Chains A and B, each alone.
Chain A
Amino acid sequence: MAKTPDAKPHLSLTSIVHEALVSRHILSTRAILLYAATSPLLIVTAEYIRNGQSSIWAAVAFSLYSAMISATLAVATRWLVRLAWGTHPRARITVLWLLSVGATRGAIMGVIVTETGAATEPHFVERILGGATSLPLILGIIAVVVGGVLDHRERVAELTQTVSRLIDRRAQTLKILTAFRSDLAERTSTAIMPALSRISRLLDPQTDLTRGTVIGELSNLVDTVVRPLSHDLAANKPEDLPPAIHNSQIPKPEWGRTSAFDALQPLWSGIIVVGVAASGVVEFFGAFRGFTMAMLYAGVLIAVLAAFRHVFRRYSFRPLTLIVLASLAHELGGVAYVYTLWALGFPIFDYPLSIAGIIVATPIVGGSIAAYVILALRRELIEQELRDSNLELGHIVSGYRRTAWLEQRRRAHHLHSTVQSRLHAEARFLSSRTGILNDRELERLHETIDSISDSASVAPAYGIDPLRELDKLRDFWAGICEIRLDISDEVRDALHNNGAPAEAVQLVTTEAITNAIRHGSATQIEVEMRLSNPEVVSVAVTNNGGNVTTEERSGLGMTTYDELTMQWDLSTMSDMTTFTASISTRNTVIELPAMY
């Protein structure tokens, strides 16, 4: 059963850590960390090269190497992301950014080194390689943190408002439908009861009753009350109701786990630990201070991004903007770092300073990760709550709307057939005899009046096996149209003795089949029913009939579809027309007011 909107998710420290490492919702973080985990490779390469070279060509070569590695890793990361989770805009933007930063940085630094001749100094090579190794990690973290933090508040507020609107809409829907259903019962009762009472009074032994009078009253009841009322009820409609499902309100699809994801999952923790620790450990032992430098870069980057957002009041960036900003911030960070140290009078490669930098930087990085994880999780939980609320609303609106519509239909049909037949049979019975009404006839009349009185105030139950009815429909059209019914066992179980949902599935499917044959001249129809959700039957009716025009669509039993399904659609592809519908299997019962 789906969660109710009021259910509050539990958020423990363990679950936060676990989600940080494995949640499919924090996709961009993982992509970035995977990218960063490759830093040991570059670190090792840098250390090896540093001990043996200082030529300009080697510097250029490694600058290009840095760019190439960045691009390759970014593409590989994206491929892995797609393999494991499919396309995701946020991940795509982030990967693009990383790719651009890495490539741009490599190219710019290569030019600088070449033009200034600084490559003769070993520390420039160190800077290049150090930056190439640690920047992806740091920039990635900052990217996610900045993006996540800045848009978090707005997004959470928006989601909260949407959830609130959904709950309000649900309340409004229930109010409308309950009033409509009460009105339905009241109309039936107030129309029929006075007429029945009048006939009952006529049947009083004290009255001067003639057979003709009773027959006239019964006929009159049929002609002036029952038949008009049945037509009136059939045409009666509740006020405008919202659609059962609000597609536009669902923030993003919820992805299922894939085998690739499950296979990679155990590796995430190790990759993250190695990736984060490697650059820090190497710097701690004095290999180079790219990690510290990156912290300064990151600080400048945050400042630039924050300033941009503050000035333009925008909370999302297009990739190109992001590339420009990131590159700009990155280079500004490098300059700021060097001149800051120079102004302070410290040697650029003072190892103790880098150690101090690590001590300062580590809590920032850790805090950033934790902040992002918490914010992302909270948003994700609210989004999940919204999805649950939306689904819940879909079930409720669909269920109540369906209940009201089916009851209206059954009431109208009951009056149209059973009540009329009973009155008609009674009138014919009385007509076939002559003389004064005897006691047996009076008793029979009372039974009829009481029976109609009882049945008029209670909606008749539905007692037909819907899937058996579909079998009959298939047999009906055999010879004109071949109908194949493919109904899963789960659907059969879900619909077995399940009142309104079963009736809805039968009516909707019947309508879709009939439309395909009547309007599309279909000769082959395939009906497939599956459980797309534990409480939702997915019906797909595919036929080889003609395309349906917009004008025809409007007449294809849309009321039936609207009232009985959570959502439906009609599409054409490769000369095949497919009707799809989602029908809630939750059996909703509306409590009527006490007077009934």
Chain B
Amino acid sequence: MTHQRTALVVEDEPLLCSLIGRLLGDSGFTVVEAGSAIDAFGYFTQTEFDLIVADIDLGAGPNGIDVVQRIRAQSPGIGVVFLTNLRDPRVSGKTWSAIPRDAAYIVKSELGSPNALNAAVASALSPKNKGTRPLPESSPLRNLSDTQVSVLAMVADGKSNDEIATQRATTVRAVEKMLQRITAALGLDAGNSNRVALARLYWDALHGKDT
């Protein structure tokens, strides 16, 4: 007899919550849907779950990261998939560093594809991915390191190389080299206008637009 896997979906948008629940149900999960962090924890105290799919932004009070943090304190082996509107969660700044490892991500706009959710779930439940924070496949900044993303954010914020160097306690030359590497990693043409292109890429990632 095979173990019936259970999943907890935490999403304050009922439409998405219901959609994810249906997709997970089709994949063989027994699904419990919660509209808030508090409700989710209430369900968690009653049932043992293999997987939690949590929206990061749940409005006022505890968010999806808090729910996962709370649940993992009691159930450290639970698989975690975060839902986000950002094509690359790292552009959210501090939120990214607060996001626990061993979690997968899926951008909400990709939920139309069942495979995207299945891939994220598989990643979250896979032992080989422990200790990592895999990025969504669709992230336009996927080839950049966390440091490069933070520098990109400063470029998008209109900061000059001097200002970036000061803020990062480094030299202007080092900043210029890093921008060259970022430009190359993103496949952009080197030139005077690449700063604008970099900023545009960043804002696209922040607002979830396709590139």
Contact = CB atoms under 8 A, between A and B. Distances in A.
A363 B37 CA distance: 77
A294 interface: no
B61 A511 contact: yes
Contacts of B13: 416-417, 420
Nearest to A413: B59
Nearest to B94: A555
Contacts of A473: 38, 61-62
A182 interface: no
B66 A517 contact: yes
Interface string A473-499: 101110110000000000000000000
Contacts of A416: 12-13
Contact of B70 (A420, A480, A507, A557): A480
A421 interface: yes
B1 interface: no
A469 B60 contact: no
B70 A510 contact: no
Contacts of B12: 416-417
Interface string B46-90: 000000000000011110011001100110000000000000000
Contact of B41 (A417, A476, A507, A560): A476
B73 A476 contact: no
A245 interface: no
Contacts of B61: 473, 510-511, 514
Contacts of A418: 14
A480 B65 CA distance: 14
A476 B74 CA distance: 12
Contacts of B65: 518
Interface residues of B, number: 21
A72 to B, nearest CB: 62
B98 interface: yes
A153 interface: no
A424 B17 CA distance: 11
Contacts of A518: 65-66, 98
B93 to A, nearest CB: 9
B18 interface: yes
Interface of A is mostly: helix
B209 to A, nearest CB: 15
A472 interface: yes
A469 B38 contact: yes
B15 interface: yes
Interface string A415-446: 01110110010000000000000000000000
A421 B66 contact: no
A22 interface: no
B35 interface: yes
A557 B37 CA distance: 18
A156 B98 CA distance: 56
Contact of B73 (A475, A479, A510, A514): A479
Given A417-B14, A557-B60, 18 more contacts: A413-B59, A417-B12, A421-B14, A421-B15, A424-B18, A469-B38, A472-B38, A473-B38, A475-B41, A476-B62, A476-B70, A477-B62, A510-B60, A510-B61, A511-B61, A514-B62, A514-B66, A517-B66
Interface of B: 12-15, 18, 35, 37-38, 41-42, 59-62, 65-66, 69-70, 73-74, 98
Which 4 pairs between the two chains have the least Cβ-Cβ distance?
Answer: A421-B14, A510-B61, A424-B15, A420-B15
